[in-house]
Structure 1
Amino acid sequence: MNLADHPHRRRNLLTGEWLLVSPHRAKRPWQGELAPPSSAQLAAHDPDCYLCAGNHRVTGEVNPAYDGTFVFANDFAALLPEQGQVERHTVFEAVPASGEARVICFSPDHGATLARLPIPAILNVVDAWCDLSAELGAHWAHVQLFENKGAMMGASSPHPHGQAWASDFVPELPAREDQRQRAWLADRGVVLLEEVAQAELAAAERIVEANDHWLAIVPHWAGWPFETLLIARDPVARLEALSPVARSALAEILSRLLRRCDGLFGCDFPYSMGWHGAPHALGADTAHWRLHAHFLPPLLRSASVRKHMVGFELLGETQRDLTPEAAARQLRAVEIGA
């Protein structure tokens, strides 16, 4: 069976879940939603933006005149440090949840994006991620660093920024990845994402970008059309373990990967991205982990046609029409220069 033409299922090795691939459906005509991207160029400073340097936030606090990254406690954090009390119930189960959250402004330039920042500025963001992982991980079970880019992904502000949520529990997806990676090492004697990286380098058909320290692929099990997985090639389990050289290499590959995404449909490519490293609750028990980042963009055919997770995807399992191999070819074909 030719996987490029016939329906088949693929397993997500990090979660154990299956997804349906239906490549023949990519030929169907599209009469669904068209959501044209905004073509407006944002100014470098917006006096009404809560994240711009020198502006007041909703709380009345004034942002400093920062010239690089700026990190502050989220004014509307989803988790609070105080541990609440939950009445036990035999049917309706609930437990307390506590933590803290930070906002990371990537740049004082309101009109910038991570893709358009110069590499030294991206390196500042990388260093901020590493510092937050170490700082928050010293007190909490798990640290989730992420960015929602674009109104299509629900970003509350166009100012380039991300977030860090630290929690006293390990969330469902990292917990599932921990179980799968632990079992893989026990069964096969090799780290799961190390074996995946070697197999992808040998196959070469799903690689988007690579350097000595990082590998960016459209994974074999990608659910979103242009989903990418960024894997550390060094044996590191958490962001704070990255060497200075690996951090610089990360800034470089992020620039190239995100510029490819922007060039794919000629727009500011929306996405949700996030880092998965070994939960800090594990302490030093991290031999089975490999640091990686997920990039999950919603666009399907153009800047105005997006993938919706509905119907079978919500009630059955994830399904895609465009094969990961075809998606990787399209991303590799984007001209981005040096």
Structure 2
Amino acid sequence: MADSRTPEPPQTLGAGVVKRPTRLADGRELIYYDDPDTTLGPERGVDAREATPRPATATMRRDVLTGDWISVAAARQNRAFLPPAELDPLAPQTPTNPSEIPSRYDVAVFENKSPSFGPELGDGAAADPAPRGLGLTRTSVGRCEVVCFSPEHEGSFGTQSRTRARTVIEAWADRTAALSALPGVEQVFPFENRGEAIGVTLAHPHGQIYAYPYVTPRTQTLLASIDREGPDLFDRILEMERASERVILEGEHWTAFVPFAARWPLEVHLLPHRHVADLAETTDAERDELAPLYLRLLRGVDALYDSPTPYIAAWHQAPVRHGRESARLHLQLTSPRRAADKLKFLAGSEAAMGAWIGDIPPEASAARLREAVASVPEVLS
């Protein structure tokens, strides 16, 4: 029988990024994405750890008051919490650190060991979108992946080089396409949590990708808004925002702005100028521009204060099967930081009732962000 860890043939993607799929000892997928100017050789080490059983796929419970599905994934309680650098589970393996990644790498993507969804996949049959009754449960099928931006112990997307950022974007697009094709997956969500104030448990520069077995509540609300406002909603939003004083950065293919009704003290949306449903639909030219523009935006956010700003960078993508002709790919970057030493906590009105109160006028936030971004040099390398 062939070893399941035998590497598959490499594949050259956009921008000269090379994809090298393989497997970990327990059968989980691991994919290396090599920079076009990589100094790494083609060989990758084999995961020499003893194969251990993966946790059983979690179960979802339906909240009958809202219709939301809640995945109860108890195995996540065992995940690493702020380990020292010498025990970083996302660093390349060493004799004293049996981490998740056997070799040196540029960018690496692997299946989460203790996922919120999966590893079991669905049978391809669509679930009832509006079931009725109390005590309803479903299996939490799907996939959760970790995206390592760098082998370094500390950093974030914004600390990467232009070339490395482009490699990560290529990996996001490639994984969006692959995960969207899995049976039972209804929506794919790449994101980065940055900072302990957000709840990050690893300092290593990384993000995640969730492949959900349902359309998320936030996206269901978006689709309802599109039904109400019209299928050209994103075109009209972009036209309004580009004519406003809330624009932060603008390129040939992308515009970043503070939205008209921003909820968070720091909130920026980044939209492509043409309609694309997800990252897999973007062109090489759009990805090429996104890398330096997104880096400059993140570095501008960090230029606001003397210390790095915590944030959630959420790539909202259209569902796999519904609304793709009108729900546009976009980034929503949000931070609870409302001053150098103050955070916005969701309490009372926001947390309990979903009724938001903005602390900072969006125009004032945009002015500060424009000034901060202007202080950051263009990203040339």
Shared fold by TM > 0.5? yes
Cα separation, 1, equivalents of 2:259 and 2:369: 13
What TM-score does the superposition give when structure 1 sets the normalisation length?
A: 0.78
Residues 1:113 and 1:90: Cα distance change in structure 2 (over 3 Å): closer
Show the counterpart of 1:50. Answer: 89
User: Structure 1 residue 309: deviation in Å?
Assistant: 1.1
User: Structure 1 residue 56: deviation in Å?
Assistant: 8.1
Cα separation, 2, equivalents of 1:288 and 1:183: 12
Show the counterpart of 1:113. Answer: 156
Residues 1:83 and 1:236: Cα distance change in structure 2 (over 3 Å): closer
What TM-score does the superposition give when structure 2 sets the normalisation length?
A: 0.70
The answer to whether the Cα contact below 8 Å between 2:277 and 2:327 also exists between their aligned partners in 1 is yes
Show the counterpart of 1:235. Answer: 275
Cα separation, 1, equivalents of 2:212 and 2:200: 21
Show the counterpart of 2:338. Answer: 300
Q: Matches of residues 85-234 of structure 1 in structure 2 within 5 Å? A: 90-139=133-182, 140-186=185-231, 191-203=232-244, 205-234=245-274
- Give CA deviations for 1:107-160 in whole Å, capped at 9, x if unaligned: 112223211211111111111110110000011211111111111111110001
Cα separation, 2, equivalents of 1:70 and 1:110: 14
Q: Which runs of 5+ in 2 are unaligned?
A: 1-83, 123-130
Of structures 1 and 2, the one scoring higher in RCO (CA 8 A, sep 6+) is 1
Q: Describe the SS at the equivalent of 1:309.
A: coil
Q: Is residue 78 of structure 1 aligned with residue 132 of structure 2?
A: no
Q: Describe the SS at the equivalent of 1:229.
A: strand
- Give CA deviations for 1:69-118 in whole Å, capped at 9, x if unaligned: 1001101101124379xxx9943343333111110001112223211211
Show the counterpart of 1:332. Answer: 370
Cα separation, 2, equivalents of 1:106 and 1:229: 22
Residues 1:55 and 1:223: Cα distance change in structure 2 (over 3 Å): farther
Q: Describe the SS at the equivalent of 2:120.
A: coil
1:240 partner amino acid: A
User: Structure 1 residue 61: deviation in Å?
Assistant: 5.7
Show the counterpart of 1:271. Answer: 311
2:154 partner amino acid: G
Cα separation, 2, equivalents of 1:89 and 1:134: 32
Residues 1:137 and 1:326: Cα distance change in structure 2 (over 3 Å): same
User: Structure 1 residue 209: deviation in Å?
Assistant: 1.0
Cα separation, 2, equivalents of 1:137 and 1:270: 29
Cα separation, 2, equivalents of 1:121 and 1:194: 31
User: Structure 1 residue 235: deviation in Å?
Assistant: 1.8
Cα separation, 2, equivalents of 1:181 and 1:71: 33
Residues 1:49 and 1:333: Cα distance change in structure 2 (over 3 Å): same
Cα separation, 1, equivalents of 2:205 and 2:327: 29
Give the stretch that moved more between structures: 109-118 or 218-227.
109-118
Cα separation, 1, equivalents of 2:368 and 2:271: 20
Q: Describe the SS at the equivalent of 2:314.
A: strand
Give the stretch that moved more between structures: 212-221 or 173-182.
173-182
Residues 1:57 and 1:173: Cα distance change in structure 2 (over 3 Å): farther
2:348 partner amino acid: G
2:237 partner amino acid: V
1:323 partner amino acid: P
The answer to whether the Cα contact below 8 Å between 1:56 and 1:62 also exists between their aligned partners in 2 is no
- RMSD over aligned CA atoms reads 2.2
Q: Which runs of 5+ in 1 are unaligned?
A: 1-44
User: Structure 1 residue 299: deviation in Å?
Assistant: 0.4
Residues 1:182 and 1:232: Cα distance change in structure 2 (over 3 Å): farther
Residues 1:56 and 1:251: Cα distance change in structure 2 (over 3 Å): farther
Residues 1:155 and 1:55: Cα distance change in structure 2 (over 3 Å): farther
Q: Is residue 312 of structure 1 aligned with residue 349 of structure 2?
A: yes
Cα separation, 2, equivalents of 1:323 and 1:287: 32
Cα separation, 2, equivalents of 1:275 and 1:164: 10
The answer to whether the Cα contact below 8 Å between 1:313 and 1:319 also exists between their aligned partners in 2 is yes
Q: Describe the SS at the equivalent of 2:85.
A: coil
Cα separation, 1, equivalents of 2:157 and 2:326: 30
Cα separation, 2, equivalents of 1:91 and 1:230: 40
- Give CA deviations for 1:227-265 in whole Å, capped at 9, x if unaligned: 111111122111101100100111111111001100001
